[in-house]
Amino acid sequence: MSYEEKRDEIAEEVKPIVAHTMPFHKKAPAKVVYITIVFTIIGVLLALFLPTHMFPFSMSPEMHDAVLTFVVFTIAAAPVAALVYAIAAYSLIAWRKKGANNNEEPPEDGAPSHGSGLITSLWIGTSVVLVLFLLVWGMAELSAETAQQSNAIQVNVTGQQWMWTFSYPGTGVTTHNLILPEGRQIDFNVTSMDVTHGFWPVEMGVQIDANPNVIDHIAATTNRLGSFDVRCSQICGLYHAYMQTKGTVVTNAQFATWLASQGASSSSIQSYALSGK
Amino acid sequence: MKKFVWAVVTVLVGAVLIAAIGLGFHDQQYSSPYGTEVAKSVGMITVNGKQYQHVVLNLVTEPSAQGTTSNGQIIHPGGNPSWPAYAVTNEYQIPANAVVTVKWSQYDSGGVVNNPYFAKPRGTIGGIERVNGKPVTGVAADNIAHTFTLRGEPGVDPRFFLSVPGPISKLGDNAENNKGGQLVQFSFISGKPGLYVWNCEFPCGLSVGGFGAVMSSYGYMSGHMHVV
Amino acid sequence: MSTIAPMLLEDTKLEPKAGGFYRHQNFLTGLIVGILSGFIGWVVSLALLQGSNFGSDMVVTVTLTCWVIGFNAGMGTFNAIFRWILGHDQNHEDELYAAGVGQGWKRYWKYCTDHKVVGTQYLVLVMVLFGVGGTLAMMIRTQLLSPNSRFMSPETYNAIVSIHGMIMIIATIIMVSGPFANFIMPIMIGAKDMAFPRLNAMSFWVVVSAVPPILGSFFLGGVPAGWTTYAPLSVQAPPAMDAFAITICTFVISVTVAGINTLVTVLTMRAKGMTMGRLPIFVWGSIIAGGLGLYAMPAFLMAQSALITDRVVGTGFYVAEQGGTGWLYENTFWIMGHPEVYVILIPPVGALIEIASTFARKPVFGYKVMVAGISGIATLSIMVWAHHMFTTGWAPTLADPFMLTTELISIPTGIIFLCMVGTIWRGSIWTRLPMYFLYLFIFNFIIGGITGIYLSDVPADQYFHGNMFVTAHFHYTLLGGGLVGAMGAVCYWFPKVTSRMLNERIGKTAFWVVAIGIQITYMAQFYEGFQGMARRVANYNALFVDANRVSSAGAYILMAGMLIFMYAIIHSWRHGKKASANPWHAKSLEWMTLTPVPLENFLVDPVVTGHPYGYGEPDSKPVAPEMPVPVSANSGGSH
């Protein structure tokens, strides 16, 4: 093909298709709103009913907060997602180029609109409000969780490759399986002997890294009897996957008995179990 | 249509290629290239009024992975001479729900264990171990060469836990293969069937926490216990 | 005209002038010199250093550094500098040779300065890297088919997880910036080439030299620390970690060079009339991503250089016993890491906006708002890094501020969605293959975006951090968003790059398989996350087995889809229908020139008189690239 032919071909191809006065469906916005509402309802229903089937059994208010946050944020986000999906879906269904295999040539041009200040402002305004809501929610929950309670007891957590050990200060008891009394705020003082580990008592809904030469603090309140998993959430080398153990929440009386069975003196149990009260 | 046949062929060729690469990464560690040490049954035993099958398992730890054990077996084929190793194999097999007596010949040097928790036997019958026949409830935390620490794979008997320290060789820092050994003996009741993993909790490697090099390389200070 | 026209012809021959040895340099000489140089480095360092405390780390570091320098020397990266130092600079003939004139397909194996060759090289490299990363992903999903899998040992598994992560990060960083910001972007602004063509070639071949070390890590003990390689675990790791760090340092050099090149090109090489206000969104995306990369990547270089010195000479930046802290690594890493995800995402988003406008036959909704949105994301992204560190124990008092900045980022992200659906709204939608990927992006990125909100909230992050939920979240954004956008970009610019049309029937088959595969794989991983499965574990509780099997099945489907897509590309590249210059009837400048694009892109310097999205505008004029004055890119400048 000669250069001139090529040039003519380009000139031909870039010719715009004359702007088509595509009729604006007056009902389109209303239809999009309907679709949005339907999608939103689906999202809200999922948010309300799915979490109980997905999350493990909550053992602490902190875990309950995490689940609640999930539900609330999903409900808050549902209309936004629904609106985006509704606009995209409606446009595709209503305004796509019809005619099965006649897709070689482009359709007529769409409406030459460059945007709308009003809609943009509304959109940004709404997202600002939503973000503020998320932020206030998060800050409120965080401050509630970090509040020190009067009945707190201390548990020292040590991560090392690839083991967790837990000790109860003052009692001389160290264990591999975490035992906690019910209805107490537990202050975990977490540290590591080598690399970084992630202390994650799963059903307690909290986690904090175990860093060498540093003591990190995280608190969770036990509000249910039963057992839970302790996992390592930070990759820590060869046996990272095996770095897990069981935790058990028992009654205060059982807890004292257990400490005694591990060789703690009765006075130390007394002062430990009563600490903070 | 022909194009779609070729598309399917591409997928198949890709799958075969990936499978071939997968075979390259697949390792035989669980089936133990160095053989499996099976515990020998020595009859029945009664513990706490309950009767169990009684088996005996032999372990050896040597200061150098290169060389042979006292009965002439290769310690760790191709082993790094500066690395210690559990000898001959790191795959052991014991029956489930039985009393297992472990006879561990410990020849390596050592020092201070990171966490004094592992200076005491945990999960053994009576909470004791015997060092050269003498029952003890622990080894001094600065006199430890290795530990034998055992727990189940995720989901396998999560409450089972065993950890036993071994004191350093009688030759101290001049430890040599098969010389100055300490005989550590302990018994425990094995858990439910499944695969258990063991490793050493003494920092006998290099770098951070003493857990680099040998400790982070599978097969020297780590392995499996097949409970059947 | 007569002096330029012959350049069009593929069979143009240069005068066979002696150009010195450098005309004989190619990939093969690069390999030979690189291996030789690495070997010499190995022998020398082994003789000098073996037996010292950090011996093997030093040997690996020296050997691989020698490989990188040697490969680039053999490739010709340093030729121009040496010639300049020696006092005989390249003449015009040499420059033409370097641009690949008259060398046919062989120029793709050379240090070629033509931005279109570099772009094509990048495209192939990206596909290869995705192939490697995807293969490793299949290993991971195969291992996780059963709770206590016997497929791989934990050691091998950890190494594969780490290298899968890093290969994919490298591939996604260059997946659009590499091929299209090099091939298409200069044409879009009416430039003859990139501002620094030799640096452009360098940016490519430096990445190539960075790939063997990271793959070599498998033979050096494996990286056990994930792609984040948190210290001090990475200080403790086997010599594989040195190889990893060398790869990162090398790669950062490439990204930095490419970023500077992109910025300078757009700032100084635009055609007459191509004001900043008329730049296509993709060009905005490229320079913002390039600039953001310039901010972010040096932090990675710092983090990994300090890691190397910790390992080979024991500086102890990250080792607690020596007064260091892992938090230093985590901070420098995430100061890179969070902007970096936007370095990955912004270019595909820019490409998708081009696609939205072209296939909805409508101007971009809110051009300025969109540019502001992308800039806002880039600006905010440098202030959010510590949300990756909510649970590390570092500065708990900063949780609230970082929660604020992180959640603020959803505002400019919302703007991107607004502009996308706003462009589609009332459009006249042409359902060609690129448009499919736009729709898939919108679907996936909403999910990826919303799941990010939970992670930005500290109390919820206390549960989701380090959990498969995070894995699913960032795969939805980077794969479901970024890679899908890049696939859309491939489909969109395929005719310009290869001069052939992409086979849409195969392409659409691939699209559906990929789309379904993504949903199955990552929805199942969200579920694992809810259940409480930790990330990067070689073995897991039987509790998680169902979700993991579903996820693995989805991953196999996804891989099949990707292979079909690859077949569509390879088949169409070889046998596809010849493409015309502007098959999409689009309006931006890259479609205003010939296909195949001639050397220096335009036969006559274009003059731009309007914005590139003049669809539906009655006064939108046809464009004739050779029109003396003025050349209009499109509309009469109503914008």
**What CATH number is attached to the domain comprising A247?**
2.60.40.420
Within a domain: residue A110?
no
Which of C138, C539, C567 faces B10 most closely, judged by CB atoms?
C567
The answer as to whether B130 is a domain residue is yes
Q: For C391, which residue in chain A has the nearest alpha carbon?
A: A208
Are residues C458 and A137, on separate chains, in Cβ contact within 8 Å?
no
A221 and A256 co-located in one domain? yes
Looking at the domain assignment, is residue B164 inside a domain?
A: yes
Asked if the model's pLDDT at residue C298 lies above 90, the reply is yes
Chain-chain contact of C142 with B22 (C-beta, under 8 angstroms) = yes
Considering only CA atoms, which of C311, C343, C317, C313 is closest in space to residue C330?
C317
Contact residues on chain A for C365, CB-CB shorter than 8 A:
113-116
What pLDDT is attached to residue A13?
58
Is residue A22 in some structural domain?
yes
Contacts 24+ apart (CB under 8 A), B170-176: B171/B109, B172/B109, B173/B109, B174/B109, B175/B63, B175/B107, B175/B108, B175/B109, B175/B145, B176/B63, B176/B107
Contact C421 A18 (CB under 8 A): no
pLDDT of residue C433: 93
Name the residue among C506, C507, C510, C491 with its Cα closest to residue C583: C491
User: Cβ–Cβ of B14/C563 closer than 8 Å?
Assistant: yes
CA C580 to chain centre: 28
Closest residue in chain C to residue A202, using alpha carbons only = C532
| Contact assignment for C418 to A119 by CB distance below 8 Å | yes
Q: Which of residues 480-509 of C touch B (CB under 8 A)?
A: 503, 505-506, 509
Cβ proximity of C406 and C386 under 8 Å: no
pLDDT score for A8: 64
Q: What whole-number percentage of chain B has pLDDT above 90?
A: 39
Of C555, A175, C548, A238, nearest to B155 by C-alpha is: C548
Q: Residue A104: inside a domain, yes or no?
A: no
User: Which of residues 105 through 134 in chain A touch C, CB cutoff 8 A?
Assistant: 105-116, 119-120, 123-124, 127-128, 130-131, 134
| Tokens standing for residue C626 | 């050779």
Matching residue, tokens 């995800």: C341
- Cβ pair C560:B25 closer than 8 A: no
pLDDT of residue A172: 87
Of C138, C232, C564, the CB nearest to B18: C138
Torsion of Cα atoms, C179 then C182 then C183 then C184, to 10° = 100
Go through the domains of chain C in sequence order and give each one's CATH number.
20-111 (no CATH), 112-575 (1.20.210.10)
A71 touches B at CB < 8 Å: no
Are residues A168 and A130 part of one domain? no
Looking at the fold, whether A138 and A247 belong to one and the same domain comes out as no
Q: Which pLDDT does position C448 carry in this prediction? A: 95
* Residue C291: predicted pLDDT: 94
- How confident is the model at residue A131, as a pLDDT? 93
Cα B89 to Cα B71: distance, rounded to the nearest angstrom: 14
- Token look-up 């020698």 returns C66
State whether residue C260 sits within 8 Å of chain B by CB: no
Res. B31 pLDDT band, cuts 50 70 90: low
**Cβ <8 Å between B4 and C541:** no
Looking at the fold, whether A193 and A177 belong to one and the same domain comes out as yes
Residue B200's CATH number: 2.60.40
Q: Is residue B1 included in any domain, yes or no?
A: no
- For each of chain A's 277 residues, which pLDDT tens digit applies? 565 666 666 666 555 555 555 666 778 889 999 999 999 999 999 999 988 888 998 999 999 999 999 999 999 999 999 999 999 999 998 888 776 555 777 887 888 888 888 999 999 999 999 999 999 999 998 888 877 877 889 999 999 998 999 999 988 899 999 999 999 999 999 999 999 999 999 999 999 999 999 999 999 999 999 999 999 999 999 999 999 999 999 999 999 999 999 888 888 888 887 665 4
Q: Using a CB-CB distance cutoff of 8 angstroms, which residues of chain C are in contact with residue A70?
A: 454, 460
ipTM attached to this prediction: 0.92
**Does residue B91 belong to any structural domain of this protein?**
yes
Using a cut of 0.80, tell me whether the model's pTM lies above it.
Answer: yes
Instruction: Give the confidence band of C284 by pLDDT, cuts at 50, 70, 90.
Output: very high
Range of the domain at A174: 153-274
**Cβ-based contacts of A131 with chain C (< 8 Å):** 407-408, 410-411
Is the CB of C52 inside 8 Å of chain B's CB atoms? Answer: no
pLDDT in tens, C29-85: 999 999 999 999 999 988 887 666 567 888 999 999 999 999 999 998 998 888 888
Same domain membership, residue A19 and residue A54: yes
Please check whether residues A142 and A194 belong to one and the same domain. Answer: no
Longest dimension (CA), chain A: 101
Q: How far is A100 from chain C (nearest CA, A)?
A: 10
Instruction: Give yes or no: residues A204 and A125 share one domain.
Output: no
| Residues in Cβ contact with C339 at an 8 Å cutoff, skipping those fewer than 6 apart | C292, C293, C295, C296, C378, C381, C382, C385
Which DSSP helix (H) or strand (E) runs through A201? strand A197-201
Residues A186 and A140 both lie in one domain:
no
Regarding whether A166 and A88 lie in a shared domain, the answer is no
Q: Do C564 and B7 touch (CB under 8 A)?
A: yes
Task: Give, rounded to a whole angstrom, the gap between the first and last alpha carbons of chain A.
Answer: 92
The one-letter amino acid at C135: T
Say yes or no: A239 contacts chain B, CB-CB below 8 A: yes
Whether residues A129 and A42 share a domain: the answer is: yes
* B94 contacts B227 by C-beta, under 8 angstroms: yes
Judge whether C162 and C225 are in contact, CB under 8 Å.
yes
Distance of CA C394 to the CA centre of its chain: 31
Structure tokens belonging to residue C547 = 């979700």
Q: Is residue A70 part of a domain?
A: yes
The conformation of residue A96, written as its DSSP 8-state character, comes to B
Please tell me which residue of chain B has the smallest CA distance to C324: B208
Tell me the average pLDDT of chain C.
Answer: 89
Between C152, C559, C567, which is nearest B7 by CB?
Answer: C567
Q: How far is CA C280 from CA C283, C284, C590, in A?
A: 5, 7, 11
A203 located within any domain: yes
Residue A187 within any structural domain of the chain: yes
d(CA C263, CA C285): 11
Which chains neighbour C (Cβ–Cβ under 8 Å, 3 or more pairs)? A, B
Q: What does C210-262 look like in DSSP terms, one character per residue? A: HHHHHHHGGGGT---STTTT-TTHHHHS-THHHHHHHHHHHHHHHHHHHHHHH
User: Which parts of A35-168 are beta strand (E)?
Assistant: 153-160, 163-168
DSSP states of A104-117: SS-----------H
The domain in which residue B146 lies consists of 37-227
Contact criterion met (CB < 8 Å) for B210 and A194:
yes
Residue A43 sits in the same domain as residue A125: yes
Structure token pair of residue A265: 């003196």
For residue C443, pLDDT over 80 is answered with yes
C426 dihedral zone (left: phi>0; alpha: psi -120 to 50; beta): left
Taking CB atoms and an 8 Å limit, are C539 and B156 in contact across chains? no
| B152 within some domain | yes
- Residue C6 pLDDT grade (very low, low, confident, very high; cuts 50, 70, 90): very low
Is A157 among the domain residues?
yes
In a domain, B23, yes or no: no
Q: Is C51 on the interface with B (CB under 8 A)?
A: no
Task: Annotate C381-406 with DSSP letters as a single string.
Answer: HTT-GGGGGTTS-S-GGGHHHHHHHH
Question: Could you give the number of structural domains in chain B?
Answer: 1
CA distance B224 to chain C (A): 11
Tally of structural domains, chain A: 2
Residues A199 and A87 in one domain: no
Å between A173 CA and nearest CA of chain B: 10
**A195 contacts C233? CB cut-off 8 A:** yes
Length reported for chain B = 228
Residues 6+ apart with CB under 8 A from C126: C171, C174, C175, C178, C179, C486
Residues of A in contact with C548 (CB under 8 A): none
Q: What are phi and psi of B166, to 5 degrees?
A: -115, 130
Cβ distance of C225 and A51 shorter than 8 Å: no
B178: left (phi over 0), alpha (psi -120 to 50) or beta: left
Return the half-sphere exposure (C-beta side, CA atoms, 13 A cut-off) of residue C256: 14
Does pLDDT of C320 surpass 50?
A: yes
Residues whose CB is less than 8 angstroms from the CB of residue A50 and which lie 6 or more positions away in sequence, other chains included: none
Q: Percentage of chain C surpassing pLDDT 90?
A: 71
Separation of alpha carbons C304 and C241, rounded Å: 10
